[in-house]
């Protein structure tokens, strides 16, 4: 059985490759190049943007060393145009709307489990594999996406938009391992990436300043920071730079007019270009108990109305008990009467039935009872 694994140049995919080889698969690796500043800036029509942010060549060299260590062929493929059209344009459009996008979800949907899968099939592969902390159970008629054993690293949240057909052709070789176990395997095998630091943040931004990067592609529109009762207390640099529940970076000093408590982003008014802020981590306005989400994707089985499921509204969040109601237009209303802080438009709500990830939807509107939050 031929399997092609996405080798990123990190320790997780390196160990996944070793496991596949040890298990006797006919395995090849493939390095995806998804971002190129010069090419993307030409597409945008602004070749003067200084934006050399993604160290992909170093990652490719690391991937090449690991594949040579293991004696496995490494293919290299460019998905730059596909990534721009399906992930980065979505990323920019969401910020224009004042939302907080999740490009990793779209990268899995359109690149790793679509463009990559098609290319792998053209190379004769029956399955693709990724170094995600997730598991899959292939039954005769259906495949089920299961949480990774390491609850701190579980990445099923980011896989909520893949399809049954994509999952049917997928393997996750390290999903049954914890991160320390992965590191141990890499060290014992003397893999080149054994001590490599985990990548963080969004690939195409890398280690650079997020605000500076975004300014290259979206014009900033500064405006007023306004308290929930309408008092102007400062200036913001542009609504796109802030997310619901954010504390850092507001630049609000002490004032005799207000209590000595931390300030948080509580909402956005796009029409007035105002950033709504309030005091206290658990500010009443940050709490909601239902939301409406669209673009629903159910990987295996559709959820059932009025049944209690577990949900995550952001990565690494603890499970929350929820119930859902189906709405017209491939939408759901999600109910969580216990109240949850900072449920954010643009992020995904991902549903679980125990260990099984059912899929998810993108959050559009957030409410407390019938009062819509200005998120």
Distance, in Å, from the CA atom of 334 to the CA atom of 324, rounded to the nearest integer, reads 5
Instruction: Out of 54, 107, 160, 357, pick the active-site residue.
Output: 107
> Catalytic site residue 107?
yes
Measured in whole angstroms, the distance separating CA 163 from the mean position of its chain's CA atoms is 16
Q: Provide the H-helix boundaries in 153-216.
A: 164-168, 179-188, 210-215
Determine how β-strand 26-33 pairs with β-strand 74-78.
parallel
d(C-alpha 124, C-alpha 26), whole Å: 11
For residue 159, what are the contacts with CB-CB under 8 A and spacing of at least 6?
Answer: 105, 108, 113, 132, 134, 145, 357
d(Cα 72, Cα 63) in Å, to the nearest integer?
A: 11
Known active-site residue 203: yes
Distance CA(136)–CA(59), nearest Å, equals 27
Name the active-site residue from 54, 160, 203, 357.
Answer: 203
Q: What are phi and psi of 239, to 5 degrees?
A: -60, -25
Would you please indicate which residues are annotated as catalytic (active-site) residues?
A: 107, 203
């Amino acid at each position: 059985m031929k399997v092609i694994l996405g080798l990123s140049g990190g320790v997780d995919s390196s160990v996944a490759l070793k496991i596949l080889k040890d298990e006797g698969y006919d395995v090849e690796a493939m390095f995806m190049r998804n971002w190129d500043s010069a090419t993307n800036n030409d597409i945008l029509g602004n070749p003067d943007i200084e934006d050399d942010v993604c160290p992909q060549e170093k990652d490719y060299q690391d991937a090449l060393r690991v594949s040579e260590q293991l004696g496995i062929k490494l293919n290299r493929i460019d998905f730059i145009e596909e990534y721009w059209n399906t992930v980065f344009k979505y990323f920019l459009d969401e910020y224009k709307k004042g939302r907080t996008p999740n490009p990793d979800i779209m990268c899995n949907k359109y690149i790793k489990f679509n463009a990559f899968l098609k290319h792998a099939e053209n190379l004769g592969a029956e399955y693709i594999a990724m170094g995600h902390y997730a598991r899959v159970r292939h039954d005769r008629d259906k495949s089920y996406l299961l949480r990774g054993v390491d609850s701190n690293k579980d990445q099923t949240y980011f896989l909520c938009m893949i399809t049954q057909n994509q999952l049917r052709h997928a393997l996750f070789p390290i999903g049954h391992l914890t991160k320390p176990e992965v590191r141990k395997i890499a060290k014992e095998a003397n893999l080149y990436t054994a001590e490599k630091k985990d990548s963080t943040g969004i690939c195409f931004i890398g280690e650079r300043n997020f605000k500076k990067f975004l300014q290259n592609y979206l014009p900033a529109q500064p405006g007023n920071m306004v308290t929930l009762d309408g008092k102007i207390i400062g200036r913001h640099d542009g609504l796109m730079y802030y997310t619901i529940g954010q504390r850092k970076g507001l630049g609000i000093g002490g004032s005799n007019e207000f209590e000595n408590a931390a300030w948080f982003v509580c909402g956005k008014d796009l029409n007035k270009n105002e950033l709504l802020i309030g005091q206290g981590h658990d500010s009443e306005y940050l709490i909601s108990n239902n939301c409406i989400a669209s673009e629903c994707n159910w990987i295996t089985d559709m959820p059932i109305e009025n049944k209690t499921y577990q949900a995550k509204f952001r990565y690494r969040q603890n499970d929350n008990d929820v119930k859902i109601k189906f709405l017209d237009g491939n939408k759901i209303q999600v109910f969580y009467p216990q109240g949850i802080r900072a449920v954010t438009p643009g992020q995904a709500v991902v549903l679980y039935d125990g260990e099984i990830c059912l899929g998810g939807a993108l959050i559009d509107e957030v409410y407390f009872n019938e009062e819509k939050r200005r998120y």
